[in-house]
A = this chain, B = another copy of it.
Amino acid sequence: MSNAQEQKLMKAFGKRISEVRKSRGVTQQQLAEHINMSVVAIAYIETGKRWARLGTLNKIAKSLKVTVANLFEGI
């Protein structure tokens, strides 16, 4: 699958995570370590190259102290 619309969504979503993360003054490395995940995975998600499982979404949201719904805001 993975059509154009979906790609766009993923990019927007990744950008949102990236922004929230930066607003918290956290590096990808730090986030990765905090949720016990590889930096590469974070980078892939933030650049919209890969989607994340619910568990991952949840961990990221929790780590950045936002709700999952909030991560989807404006998407």
In the complex this chain forms, how many copies of it are found? 2
Tell me whether chain A's interface is mostly helix, strand or loop, or mixed.
helix
User: Does B54 lie within 8 Å of A53, measured CB to CB?
Assistant: no
A3: chain B residues at CB < 8 Å are 55
Is A51's CB under 8 angstroms from B53's CB? Answer: yes
Q: Does A17 contact B (CB under 8 A)?
A: no
Residue of B nearest to A54 (CB): B51
| B interface footprint on A1-39 (CB within 8 Å = 1, 0 otherwise) | 111011001100100000000000000000000000000
Of the residues B1, B10, B55, contact of A6 by C-beta under 8 Å: B55
A47 at the interface (CB under 8 A from B): no
A-B contact pairs, 18 of them (CB 8 A): A1-B53, A1-B55, A2-B55, A3-B55, A5-B58, A6-B54, A6-B55, A6-B58, A9-B54, A9-B68, A13-B54, A51-B53, A67-B72, A68-B72, A68-B75, A69-B69, A69-B74, A69-B75
